[in-house]
Amino acid sequence: MARYLVTGGSGFIGSNIVDELLHRNQEVAVLDNLSTGRKENLAGVRDRIAFHEADIRDLDKIRPLFQNTDYVIHLAALPSVPRSVADPITSNAVNIDGTLNVLVAARDAKVKRVVFAASSSAYGDNPVLPRVETHMPRPLSPYALTKLAGEYYCVMFTRLYGLETVALRYFNIFGPRQNPDSPYTGVLSIFIAAYLRGQTPTIFGDGEQSRDFTFVSNAVDATLRACTAEGAVGKVINVGTGDRYTLNQTVALLNKMFSKQVTPDHGPVRQGDVRESHADITLARQFLSYEPLVRFEDGLRRTADWARATLR
């Protein structure tokens, strides 16, 4: 049995990772300040984990939590492109200063490895598709820049201090527990909630922007593989499906799924939004033995089923 510390473990992705770790009979601790995570995401497992309410910006407070830890899965962040555009200072403090604190605490506690949740937003408006890890980053938002800085810090800590790190560039993760009522959530959770509530979803732009929508089970699988994969140390690796759908195609799928004929509203393109997103997952296959477990349409159905059962 290994001991895992999951920062941001009460969030959407983090709580799914906690569930899978417990399913594998691992020892789990969660560090979260509950600014975007929700206690109810861990309600069914609180008696099986150690929960620490703390902020990664406070190094002195979090440092003891890393003792006797084998693996750190670092998901804690201030998400959302629009939020970072509106408030770049806080995004910088959480996503860069906080990540540096996590790395320092892990190094000093002699943690075996840190797996960092990076972001496909680092590619920005690079016109080449699919996105390959060697492409020049061209971040379009403070959020994307902060996630790119986190990658660089991970690689640097591996080279300078010998702390094993892996940075995973997540591509548009979606699935159960993604909160549709947050203004900073993913587009799919907002769309599905709109269908269930009889509302009209809004597309910012013409709807031809594409995304490599990645069901959360795929991200969980890749993340846990990255904790122990020998060849992954010091690398930046895409985690997606290797496929992409436009928002217009997604609406057509939801219309079929919900037996409706919804015509979405359209708003102006948002600052910092990326036009195209499509992962090359060659490195994930090579170094993580990763293969997407759930394809987009199946994941969309599973997410809709979860929303039907939980949303009001």
* CATH at residue 128: 3.40.50.720
Residue 95 domain boundaries: 3-174+214-242+278-294
Tell me whether residue 253 is in a domain. no
CA proximity to 91, closest of 137, 146, 167: 146
Structural domains of the chain, count: 1
Report if residue 188 sits inside a domain. no
Element (H, E) at 119: strand 113-119
Residue 135 within a domain: yes
pLDDT digits (tens, 9 = 90+) for 89-112: 999 999 999 999 999 999 999 999
Q: What is the mean pLDDT of residues 296-302?
A: 97
- Residue 143: active-site member: yes
Report if residue 52 sits inside a domain: yes
Six-digit token string for 252: 């057509």
Q: Which of 123, 143, 195, 245 is catalytic?
A: 143
36-90 tens-digit pLDDT? 999 999 999 999 999 999 999 999 999 999 999 999 999 999 998 999 999 999 9
Kind of pairing between the strands at 245-246 and 210-211: antiparallel
* Residue 77 falls inside a structural domain: yes
